[in-house]
Amino acid sequence: MSRFAGKVAIITGSSNGIGRATAVLFAKEGAQVTITGRNAERLEETRDEILKAGVAPNNVNVVVADITFEAGQDEVIGSTVSKFGKINILVNNAGAAFPDKNQPMGFGQGIDNFDATLAVNIRSVVELTNKIVPFLAKTQGEIVNVSSIASGPRASSDLSYYSVSKAALDQYTRNTAIALIEQGIRVNSVNPGYVVTGFATAFGFPQEASDKLMNHMESQKSCIPTRKAGRPIDIAEAIAFLADRNASSYIIGHQLVADGGSSLVIGMHAQDLAELLNDKSFAAEFLIPLPLLDIMLLSMIERVCVLVALFNNSILIYFILRKSAAKLGNYKYLMIYIAVFEMIYALMDGLTAPAVFSKDCTNLLIMRADLAYIPIEYLPLANVIFCNMFGMSMALLAIHLSTATSLKNNIQLDQISYIGFFYYPKDANGIEYIHWRSVIGIIIHSIFITISFSLIFYFGFKCYHQTRVLVQQSSQSSSFENLQSQLFYALVFQTLIPILLMHLPASVVYAGALFNRSNEYLGKAMSVSICFYPVLDPLPNFFIIKSYRKALFSFSSQIFKILSGQRETVSRQRAAVVTSVSIRK
């Protein structure tokens, strides 16, 4: 007979890792299980694994809920009791570690990070346990909390808030074990060591760096004496042991360490993690800086570009209005329109702080509420406006990338805005298929873009050619012909700048995503290059159109004289002071 036959178990945080392995193991051992987490897609993957193990579908209860909120806790309990009629086992596995927006790891992280960490790792456990105790008392049930060897007794300064929350969980386990055994409820905890769950990626490090870190620790006896990092199933077996009253009835309030011996040796302290992950020789092959630092640097570049773009285009508008040749005519209003457009574009870029991400079949334009100057409820509209101003749709939505981005940067999906398509979704069996609507959508966008570019080049060249013929056939002076030529070449360069900085990189990103190829570096470079478009685009007018070039040199010389005059004035004042002092002496 299976050891959990007739039992009902709730496993929190069962959408991946240890929680998923525990849910599959308990179900295979005869338990009716409630799996719960915030990610519906990953919960379905857990359910699929359980069903593949031969478990009947009616023995699995899927609840998408956030247990840091009371509504989520009530949904988990109510759904379980409604479906199965009782609760025998509670596995408090849900837990998290967050990077801080100011500092990914270590001392000095913000109090918001502290609150978020404790809300998941201890507060939700206390609240959910309090609500489930009446049901467990009826069944003489079991509680197993999932803690960590980071809880102590040695310090874990780089995992400061995480280790504090797990230390609190250990003490809570001991306290409740004494209190609840009076009602026949046993409480214990499992404290895992280094487990292959991608823990380092939660702090914003690349997956490759996380994998290499695990490989490094497995190779060092001073890190893991067994020379083998834990797998989720290893921890699941330890949880099952403590949840099985026949096997562990005499154990309460115990922290069962499952770490391959890591806590017995000093070698690889948790506080060495950040140093190792940031070591250039260790991570040189990845050449991937922390995403948080990327975004902070990009934000600074965007703000500087906004100011320079506004200045350049304001000067250009002034020159157009005051320094244009009389023969320019109504063409100057088109030039003003372009300059005003670029100023609005620059403002939108600075207000929304967009960042381009590309990974596999995905290209995503993300706007973060914590970096943008626009309220979160208006970010989706701002995203669409920016994309239209950009001149083309900014591609390819993928849920997995937006989720990974939010985890790396300690943000939730309701705090970002993104736009685009997703080419290769997965069906219920986890098999990729082509999403033809997305493919057709991007083809339609590409057709419109191609048509618009073709029209610009065709009619621009034709207009220039016809104007040149008219000039040659008329009695217009050579100065008018020179002006026409200057305007044409300025417009050519103004067209090439956005093509080189925005449209060509975007086209490569689109093509790469369509063929399931990553363009991560190009995406980062493009996040910067799109900032420089409104900065550089006015420059051809300054240097190619003669009247503006003269005005610019005159303006620059006046500024230089003013600055030089101020310096001379300061020098005279200093000399006067020195002379006065000398006379007094």
| Phi and psi at residue 35, to the nearest 5° | -105, 135
**What is the DSSP code (8-state) at residue 86?**
-
CB 31 within 8 A of CB 8: yes
CA distance 71 to 65: 8
| Sheet containing 362-368, strands listed edge to edge, beginning at the edge strand earlier in sequence | 354-359, 362-368, 416-419
**Catalytic hit among 162, 345, 418, 424:** 162
Q: Does 333 qualify as catalytic in the annotation? A: no
Tokens of 473: 């056939």
Contacts (Cβ under 8 Å, ≥6 apart) of 573: none
| Cα R_g (the chain), whole angstroms | 32
Give me the residue label for tokens 């995480």.
162
User: From the centroid of its chain, how far is CA 59?
Assistant: 36
- How many Cβ atoms sit within 10 Å of the Cβ of residue 386? 22
The C-alpha angle with vertex 41 and arms to 9 and 364, in degrees rounded to 5, equals 150
Q: Tell me which residue of 275, 298, 261 sits closest to 209, measured CA to CA.
A: 275
User: From the centroid of its chain, how far is CA 484?
Assistant: 48
Helix crossing, 520-536 with 478-498: angle to 10°? 150
Tokens of 81: 């009791």
CB 524 within 8 A of CB 470: no
CA distance 48 to 308: 54
Beta strands, E only, 121-223: 142-146, 186-192
Give me the residue label for tokens 């042991």.
241
CB 277 within 8 A of CB 209: yes
CA distance 277 to 468: 63
Q: What Å distances lie between residue 238 and 18, 23, 28, 506, 549, CA to CA? A: 11, 13, 15, 50, 77
Helix, strand or coil for residue 395? coil
**What is the DSSP code (8-state) at residue 33?**
E
Give me the residue label for tokens 């002092």.
581
Looking at the chain, the number of H-run helices and the number of E-run strands are: 21, 10
Catalytic residues: 162
